[in-house]
Amino acid sequence: MADRREDLRAADVDRQFVAERLKAALDEGRLSLGEYDDRLKETYAARTYGDLDGILKDLPGFHPTGGSQLEPKAPLADTRDERGDAERGNPKWLVGIWSAWLVAVSVNVVIWALVSLSAGTPVYFWPMWVAGPWGAVLLASTFSVKVLGKDPPESQRRYRDS
């Protein structure tokens, strides 16, 4: 058994973390495309935490942890994860489902208005049967996320964050 963290075998999730950090460094202009490509190859060829630490050692915000994973306990200031975005505003999936509701209800209201105009008198406001039940479900979802803090697992979401 390896005594030092640097000698422990890295997992795929650890390599993925390093690959994401390298992508962020490329986007920030800290790495050239050639450097990014070279380091990405090294990342997927790495066997130990020591190998992965060496790939990130000259990038700011990264300090090897003493635990079994590379990801630091505190989030990096210049990287964003889904939780960080959700705490600053609304999760993308929540914005997506409300946007879909708004589009569907808007289309139905426009159709209702055109039918009412062509009939010369307002007709029964049937779009409420589209907006109401769907809106109630979305309100419950929003309440569970915003007030109760219960975000559904990604595998259960229809709208994926990207």
Per-residue pLDDT, 82? 46
70 located within any domain: yes
Per-residue pLDDT, 77? 45
Domain that holds residue 148: 85-156
Per-residue pLDDT, 4? 80
Q: Do residues 52 and 14 touch, judged by C-beta distance below 8 A?
A: yes
The residue among 50, 79, 108 that closes a domain is 79
Task: Between 71 and 49, name the one with better pLDDT.
Answer: 49
pTM: 0.41
Q: Do residues 4 and 48 touch, judged by C-beta distance below 8 A?
A: no
What is the Cα–Cα distance from 5 to 15, expressed in whole angstroms?
A: 15
For the segment 81-131, what is each residue's pLDDT rounded down to a tens digit? 444 444 456 778 888 889 999 999 999 999 999 999 999 999 999 999 999
pLDDT beyond 60 at 43:
yes
